[in-house]
Amino acid sequence: MSGSTMVTIAVLLFFVFFIFYKRDLVMRLFSVEAQTPANELQERLERTADNVIWRLEEKIAYLEALLKEADQKIELLESKVARDVQDEKGDSPVPEISFMPPARAASLYQQNSLQPAKDRQEEQPRPEAPAMESKGRPIPQDKHKVIVAMAEQGFNVTEIAKAVGMGKGEIMLVLQLNKK
């Protein structure tokens, strides 16, 4: 064999060895680079999921506290209503109390307080100007009392507005004026 053939074989072997070596290096380089972003993405997703779960747990706890508070207010209101009914009827047994829709409560309140309100108005004429509805008509005083009574019973502005047939803004205005 001649010297040039040997050199050619040596160069060829060196080239094959170099390609195999670089191929392993390139594969290792790409596998490490591909694995690192995937791991980072997985870690970020896990942190985000933990954060979302934590927020949901906080909101659930808040809603449970609101439910407990609402239940307590319902029990308190039912006991007050039962006491009032018992006071009105004397010593008769207290019937089972259930939730009454705002419209029904407002109409019952109007029926029960309409005559005493008229009597009080006749006894004490008010010098102040009557409140005005949005269309320029005066709001009857018994509606004021219904609004205030429903607010004291814990009804919100929307429920009161539906019950008395007035707008939310008017209800809020009457309640603000009542505070003064």
pLDDT in tens, 87-104: 887 655 555 555 666 666
* Rounded Cα–Cα distance for residues 150 and 127 (Å): 26
Please check the confidence at residue 34 and state whether its pLDDT lies above 70. no
* Rounded Cα–Cα distance for residues 102 and 107 (Å): 9
pLDDT of residue 26: 67
Beta partners for 138? 132
Instruction: Give the pLDDT mean for 22-41.
Output: 73
Q: Who contacts 155 (Cβ-Cβ below 8 Å, separation ≥6)?
A: 102, 105, 163
Instruction: Give the pLDDT mean for 65-80.
Output: 92
The pLDDT-based confidence of 106 (bands split at 50, 70, 90) is low
For 130, the 3-state DSSP assignment is coil
pLDDT of residue 103: 65
Please check the confidence at residue 70 and state whether its pLDDT lies above 80. yes
Instruction: Name the nearest CA neighbour of 174 among 137, 146, 135, 136.
Output: 146
Residue 90 phi, psi dihedral angles, 5° rounding: 90, -130
* Rounded Cα–Cα distance for residues 87 and 51 (Å): 54
Q: How does pLDDT run across 119-174, given as a tens digit for each residue?
A: 555 555 444 444 444 455 555 678 888 999 999 999 999 999 998 888 888 888 88
